[in-house]
A = this chain, B = another copy of it.
């Protein structure tokens, strides 16, 4: 026999996924459920609801009740600096509605000098004592934070340059790096999927049960030396991460082994 709190969660989850409880709608109150499932203890009902909360399906709004979460992802394109036109030819756009949605963006920029974390140090191949400069940006849409974006570079490289101004750089910080002799020609993207830290929850105002993608970009100059590490924290409930790939003509008859879009 399944525990009561699980039956409650399963039943409600079912109703959410089959549309009986559409996004934005209100769930039965704890008291309703307590009665319906014949379980007197409120904690049991709460235990069931907390499952759904941690799955990111519902949010409690004291004292109004529990509501089915509404999500509306934006498109996040790590490749956007590469592409000439938005997507190749836009055979995809019918899939990805509401791009940007014409809502006005804003961002905070803050520059400081810090000791690098291990993540940053290994990727920039720094010596133990070397310091780095960091350009921290929090991006907002209609005032709501939706993305944290911290770039790190060796202090000796960017010191005194425009890279370190805490304002928008019109021609782009990559251009600044290029003028410093480090044109970025290659990048490695690592995407880690995890739950947010309490700090991230605060800065991004994340609801419960919302995972994030930690998107670490290491960029390299033509001589294969790492130049910059950027760590993006991307809330899962507000974004789809999108990449486009084309078959490289050079690498044509290689790797016939496994399925494509697989592995």
Interface residues of A (CB under 8 A from B): 10, 13, 43, 50, 54-56, 73, 76-84, 87-89, 91-92, 94-96, 122-123, 135, 137, 147, 149, 151, 171-175, 184-196, 198, 208-209, 211-213, 217-220, 224, 228, 230, 232, 234, 236-237, 239-248, 250-251, 254-263
Chain B residues in 8 Å Cβ range of A149? 259, 262-263
Chain B residues in 8 Å Cβ range of A213? 191, 193, 213
CA distance A135 to B258 in the complex (A): 13
Partner of A81, one of B43, B189, B195, B260: B260
Are A188 and B78 CB-contacts (below 8 A) given A174-B259, A259-B151? no
Chain B residues in 8 Å Cβ range of A81? 255, 258-263
Chain B residues in 8 Å Cβ range of A259? 81, 135, 149, 151, 172-174, 230
Give the residue among A95, A255, A258, A261 with the most B Cβ atoms within 10 A: A261
CA distance A198 to B17 in the complex (A): 12
Chain B residues in 8 Å Cβ range of A137? 262
Chain B residues in 8 Å Cβ range of A244? 186-189
Measured CB to CB, the closest approach of chain B to A41, in angstroms, equals 11
CA distance A186 to B122 in the complex (A): 33
Q: Is the CB of B123 within 8 A of A95?
A: yes
CA distance A239 to B213 in the complex (A): 12
Chain B residues in 8 Å Cβ range of A224? 89, 91
Q: Is the CB of B254 within 8 A of A84?
A: yes
Q: Is the CB of A258 within 8 A of B195?
A: no
Measured CB to CB, the closest approach of chain B to A214, in angstroms, equals 10
Are A82 and B245 CB-contacts (below 8 A) given A224-B91, A256-B172, A263-B77? yes
Query: Known pairs A54-B195, A81-B260, A172-B259. 6 more at Cβ < 8 A?
Result: A54-B208, A149-B262, A151-B259, A151-B261, A193-B212, A211-B236
Which 7 residue pairs across A and B have the least CB separation, nearest first? A217-B261, A193-B236, A211-B211, A230-B261, A191-B241, A189-B243, A174-B260
Q: Is the CB of B147 within 8 A of A122?
A: no
Q: Is the CB of A261 within 8 A of B187?
A: yes
CA distance A73 to B214 in the complex (A): 14
